[in-house]
Structure 1
Amino acid sequence: MHVEHHELHQEFPEMKDVINTLRTGNPMFARLFATYHRLTGKVEDLEEHDMPVDDFTLEDMKKHRVKVKDDLYHMMLAYRAGQQSVK
């Protein structure tokens, strides 16, 4: 089975520097990033190995991952906007 990878750096290549800065300087972002990374790994592992799992469980994991990704994205946008207003 072909598995799409959803690493945050691949999802938002234009935000690579922002991601790295926030991961090291913002504890909330770092926790959300770790949660996103962990969920992505679990989902990809389940899909790649075609492991038996309830469809609802997998869908809930994917929905949670999307929510976390959305939260991370908003944090990145806020950081970027703050950086631009300083210039």
Structure 2
Amino acid sequence: MQTEHQDLKKEFPQLAARMDALQQSNTHFAEIFDEFNALTAEIEHIERNDAATGDSALEGMKKRRLALKDELYRMASA
């Protein structure tokens, strides 16, 4: 399965500098940013390698990633 890498700084280039600053100054932001990237890597690995995982487990991971993305966007654009 072909999957597109999700990179928040490329997706929201207008917020890239703000995200960099928040990663340095806001522990909560840095933690959820790291969680988003780790989850993205895991999802991409599963999709790229058709790794054995239940559809509901993968769906849950994608929902969590979307929730993290929403929170990161909200914090960066505040």
Q: Which residue in 2 is equivalent to 1:77?
A: 77
User: Which blocks of at least 5 consecutive residues in structure 2 are unaligned?
Assistant: none
Aligned-pair identity (%): 38
**CA distance in 1 between partners of 2:60 and 2:73 (Å):** 20
Deviates more, 1:5-14 or 1:31-40: 5-14
Moved over 4 A (4+): none
1:57 Cα shift?
0.2
Paired residues for 1:1-87 under 5 Å? 1-78=1-78
Residue in 2 that maps onto 1:81: none
Give unmatched runs, 5+ long, in structure 1: 79-87
* Bigger Rg, which one: 1
Distance 1:39 1:47 in 2: 12
What TM-score comes out, normalization by structure 1 length? 0.86
CA shift for structure 1 position 8: 1.3
Distance 1:20 1:49 in 2: 31
Shift of 1:52: 1.3
